[in-house]
Structure 1
Amino acid sequence: MVKEKLSGQAYFIGGGIASLAGAVYLIRDFGFKGKNIHIMETLNILGGSNDGIGTPEKGFVCRGGRMLNEETYENFWDLFQSIPSLEQPGISVTEEILDFDHEHPTHANARLVDKNGYVLDVMSMGFDSNDRKKLTKLMIEPEKNLDNLRIRDWFSPHFFTTNFWYMWQTTFAFQEWSSVCELKRYMNRMIYEFSRIQTLEGVTRTRFNQYDSLILPLKKYLEEHDVDFDLKCTVTDIDFKDGDEIAVSKIHYKRGNKSGTISLKKKDMCFLTCGCITDNSDEGDFKTPARYLPENPPSADLWRKIAAKRSEFGNPEPFFGHPDETKWESFTVTSNGDKLLKMIEKFSRNIAGSGALMTFKDSAWRMSIVVAAQPHFKNQPENQTIFWGYGLYTDRFGDFVKKPMIDCTGEEILTELLHHLHFEEEIDDIMKDVVNVIPCMMPYIDALFQCRAKADRPKVVPANSKNFALIGQFVEIPKDMVFTEEYSVRTARYAVYKLTGSNKKVLPVTPYNKQPEVLLRALNTMYR
């Protein structure tokens, strides 16, 4: 129950799920007037990295995909319990997602595929005694000892040949040079899923892509509360008052060719989404490669400006200073009819929507695909099918298409995939049905996993902050793991509660890593 109504204006910089969630918390928990909430977004569409767009004529595209988890997304489910479903009147988005997921459970039958096209038995993690020793040590190692250490600094070369690594790496998009501290957090946070990583039974899927299933209901809720969406508006700098206290005085922005400022008053608040993993992404098509455009990512440029003013705002360089380490490429395939979809279903022994991720472990690009339940878009016709995939090693030459993935057209990427599926004899017929294959190059998609020190990520609400908070994937939340919807929502909830001076509590991380039965299952898995 709301005990008091707050006054003033709230400015959210960035239109991703963290800002949208923060706006909901202000309205739901504090009776904040929606007309006093302003979400400032550079693009002409909300959603940030939770995207999904396209047409039947030109094909559909998702830059990436976020897997949900029923057991560990505490604040996410609570948030969407308050958001009405757009598809099923009378129930919440949380109920809609969980009902759909329970009706379409995940159980991957083809998690790893070798170069000969054989589905591998992956019940065994493939660990040797040293792998087990190092993994166990990592689980209990204090984070303060892990600053600036990479995963490959911690483990021996054998670890990177195990079934566990192939599955864990591609499920979450880790690299050998990613932060070992982030791997530790994932292992502790997702230990509940460790014993079923080979089937991905813990994956919870939305009915449609995440823009249609998550962002549109959030947008509708906020629209009904008169929230101001300021699109095509880029925040270029933030001014702070002099002194030890952190207080935003002005927001500088650019809208089209016009620049302007917003002066904050005493009761106003400012929330900055700190960094964006899809900055500078670029899309190609069937005949055109996506471009690699790492220069001047806008969210990082803004972060650099404020970090130069106050040390409390962290250090963006480890995350946005090494695009060759943080890039990978996705692709979305749209076809008329279901010929290719049915062939993949037969190969994997999974109907669409039940298999989660299938990885071709020997592929030079470390390629994986996901076939979601159809339709995957609200405006997708019945006679079209869609699936998504990605490659982690984009600079390597393909096994069949002798070019780096980064230089390949959508047609060439699909050709490489069809050879890994050993559908060579059907390629011509398959290609006749293809509407488009849209590759998407993302220079900073893995930035949040970069090797770092703890101080490089700022606190959500820095000490002595009076009206400023940082939210999203590049701030520090103890115990939780980045690259998840939960992380963004949790940061927003904490930021709102802290800046409003509320004694309300953010739902804590569930300590599965301290539950004996979960630890026993994990131990058994290590020795399978």
Structure 2
Amino acid sequence: MRTTDKKAYLVGGGIGALAAAAFMIRDGGMQGSNITIFEASPVTGGSLDGGGNADDGYTLRGGRMLTTDNYECTWDLFKSIPSLEHAGQSVYDETIAFNERHLPHSRARLVDRNRFKVDVSSMGFSMQDRLELLKLAEADEDTLGSSAITDWLSPAFFDTPFWYMWATTFAFQPWHSAVEFKRYLHRFMLEFSRIDTLAGVKRTVYNQYDSLVRPLVAWLQEQGVNLIMDCTVTDIAVQECDGRLSATAIACQRRGLADVIPVADSDLVFFQNASMTDASSYGSMHVAPARRTKNDSQGWRLWEKLAEGRPALGRPAAFNSSIPESYWASYTVTLKDGAFFERMEQFTGNSAGTGGLVTFKDSNWLMSIVLAHQPHFAGQPAGVHVFWGYALHPDRIGNFVAKPMSDCSGADILRELCGHLNFDLDIMATANCIPCRMPYITSMFMPRAKGDRPLPVPAGSVNLAFVSQFVEIADDVVFTVEYSVRAAQTAVYQLLGVPREVPPIHAHDKSLKVKLDAVIKAFQ
């Protein structure tokens, strides 16, 4: 069968599936009209979401950190996707131009209980910390196995400025995977020496839904890709014979109607196995978010069904079995005036969009906020300001609000935030704070063993690929846009036999200069 006649079905409308569709068209020679994306929600983008409005309040579950020194596959893709606002420019072009105008350099990365800006020029390591960190960083993954970070580092390490900065930049917890922590140390070694200023972090013009997802979806629709929303895929029939595995049919439900779509061996099926934002829920200024689990959403069910009795398709239970260890909460604040932004800019010394995260290191919730360049949403009215924050320990009692963040409304969260800043609560008079609970947000960081994550194209598969944060890609790191895009590009090139190399990972950790800078920083 000619590539132009081949059909592809993508289960899930997150960035991985959208990227896969783009690579099929751009590099695989497929017709857009032969590609269908099934998405259970009313919008595409998956975890790269952004919604709401100035009157009801904007919402962001989270935003992934971007760099231009890494993210090889992401920028390879977005160099091909036209900007929605700048004629003749790609999304990559406009992102680079934006960051040249708004250079990041945090002046208030950590703030203590007295509202003093912590001196973060030193990482705060003891010699024991340095030796233990080096031992972990140099251990091979077989040795690290399914161990946790705490199995390798002493308790004092987790009270260093480095840990507060690294943990809140990347959302690590001490009980997370030692393998994943090691991969981050290597993949982002270039950031180690500038973690105190976040100088390597890059921002999109707007939130990542408006800046990445919307232009990508617009381009795919121009190519004729079929987007079927509000459609839940309930099963993927798989046939196994003589070590050969193939998807043969897709069962789905849309608006109460069931359908079964036959799949030929020559067709392709791409499955986004699980989502880190599965079972998330929003609250309001007066109500805390509902406590939901995978049983409420069935978001993990299809992967669990496919993987049962098939070790090559992974082990979901390694990731979704302990909500207390994979959960944190975020909040988005919409303001109808600029008073809070002006006060924060005075306090931090950073104009909005140049400071990155401000973390309250003594916060029981381990609370952080970030003020992005405004407007942060396409179409955001003049005079409206939006900022985002999150907390890594939402099940602990607050310092100023006598209950866990899990039980807090938006008004409670603002009270806690103003307490840490020693701001009068009146500064939030026009604020609308919408909290968000995400029970599986760092589930991909859970300690895991070899085989717990399937390969993008499992062994023996002729037409079934996995594209998500829960696949195995050597040397790369989860909880990044890059991981999903790299998985998509890898799978598309393999199944379509694309005669082009997937962009290799920049091995900054092999650079003598980068290593030397990291050593110097570790001894400051």
TM-score range normalised by the length of the shorter chain: over 0.9
TM-score where L is the length of structure 2? 0.98
Partner of 2:343: 343
Distance in structure 1 (CA, Å) of the matches to 2:169 and 2:232: 33
TM-fit CA distance, 1:162: 0.4
Partner of 2:314: 314
Partner of 2:505: 509
TM-fit CA distance, 1:433: 1.7
Partner of 1:415: 415
Listed one character per residue, the Cα deviations across residues 43-72 of structure 1 (whole Å, up to 9, x for unaligned) are 010000001111111110100011110101
| SS of equivalent to 2:228 | strand
* Alignment partner of 2:456 out of 460, 469, 472: 460
Distance in structure 1 (CA, Å) of the matches to 2:136 and 2:354: 32
What does 1:191-270 align with in structure 2 at a 5 Å threshold? 191-243=189-241, 244-270=243-269
Listed one character per residue, the Cα deviations across residues 372-402 of structure 1 (whole Å, up to 9, x for unaligned) are 0000001211111010000110110000000
Partner of 2:487: 491
Q: Does 1:431 align with 2:428?
A: yes
Partner of 2:281: 282
TM-fit CA distance, 1:164: 0.5
Distance in structure 1 (CA, Å) of the matches to 2:148 and 2:235: 33
Q: Which runs of 5+ in 1 are unaligned?
A: none
Listed one character per residue, the Cα deviations across residues 10-41 of structure 1 (whole Å, up to 9, x for unaligned) are 01111000000000001111221111100111
Distance in structure 2 (CA, Å) of the matches to 1:416 and 1:310: 47
Q: Does 1:451 align with 2:447?
A: yes
Distance in structure 2 (CA, Å) of the matches to 1:102 and 1:67: 17
Distance in structure 2 (CA, Å) of the matches to 1:208 and 1:472: 24
TM-fit CA distance, 1:316: 0.5
Q: Which moved more, 1:394-403 or 1:132-141?
A: 132-141
* AA matched with 1:9: K
What does 1:73-84 align with in structure 2 at a 5 Å threshold? 73-84=71-82
TM-fit CA distance, 1:432: 2.0
Listed one character per residue, the Cα deviations across residues 142-183 of structure 1 (whole Å, up to 9, x for unaligned) are 101112101111100011010000000000000011001000
Listed one character per residue, the Cα deviations across residues 432-454 of structure 1 (whole Å, up to 9, x for unaligned) are 222x1000000000111111112
* AA matched with 2:520: N
Partner of 2:514: 518
Contact 2:311 2:451 in 1 (8 A): no
Partner of 2:370: 370
* Alignment partner of 1:474 out of 470, 476, 494: 470
What does 1:293-312 align with in structure 2 at a 5 Å threshold? 293-296=292-295, 297-312=297-312
| SS of equivalent to 2:330 | strand
* AA matched with 2:402: K
* AA matched with 2:151: D
TM-fit CA distance, 1:130: 1.1
| SS of equivalent to 1:253 | strand
Contact 1:14 1:41 in 2 (8 A): yes
| SS of equivalent to 1:203 | coil
Q: Does 1:361 align with 2:361?
A: yes
* AA matched with 1:7: D
The percent identity for this pair of structures is: 47
* AA matched with 1:481: V
Distance in structure 2 (CA, Å) of the matches to 1:266 and 1:452: 32
Listed one character per residue, the Cα deviations across residues 234-267 of structure 1 (whole Å, up to 9, x for unaligned) are 1111111131211001111111212221110131
| SS of equivalent to 1:11 | strand
* Alignment partner of 1:93 out of 87, 91, 94: 91
Contact 2:278 2:299 in 1 (8 A): yes
Contact 1:6 1:30 in 2 (8 A): no
What does 1:112-127 align with in structure 2 at a 5 Å threshold? 112-127=110-125
| SS of equivalent to 2:58 | strand
Distance in structure 1 (CA, Å) of the matches to 2:380 and 2:292: 30
Distance in structure 2 (CA, Å) of the matches to 1:384 and 1:133: 49
Cα RMSD (Å): 1.0
* AA matched with 1:312: A
* AA matched with 2:239: K
TM-fit CA distance, 1:337: 1.1
Contact 1:112 1:119 in 2 (8 A): yes
Q: Which moved more, 1:256-265 or 1:361-370?
A: 256-265
Partner of 1:131: 129
TM-fit CA distance, 1:501: 2.1
Contact 2:247 2:265 in 1 (8 A): no
* Alignment partner of 1:145 out of 143, 168, 189: 143
| SS of equivalent to 1:433 | coil
* AA matched with 1:321: S
Distance in structure 1 (CA, Å) of the matches to 2:211 and 2:321: 33
Distance in structure 2 (CA, Å) of the matches to 1:110 and 1:454: 40
* AA matched with 2:71: Y
Contact 1:7 1:267 in 2 (8 A): no
Contact 1:106 1:203 in 2 (8 A): yes
Contact 1:9 1:37 in 2 (8 A): yes
Contact 2:15 2:213 in 1 (8 A): yes
Distance in structure 1 (CA, Å) of the matches to 2:54 and 2:106: 29
Q: Does 1:330 align with 2:326?
A: no
Listed one character per residue, the Cα deviations across residues 223-243 of structure 1 (whole Å, up to 9, x for unaligned) are 101100011111111111131
TM-fit CA distance, 1:463: 1.3
Contact 2:284 2:433 in 1 (8 A): yes
TM-fit CA distance, 1:505: 1.1
Contact 2:246 2:265 in 1 (8 A): no
Distance in structure 2 (CA, Å) of the matches to 1:482 and 1:192: 17
| SS of equivalent to 2:451 | helix
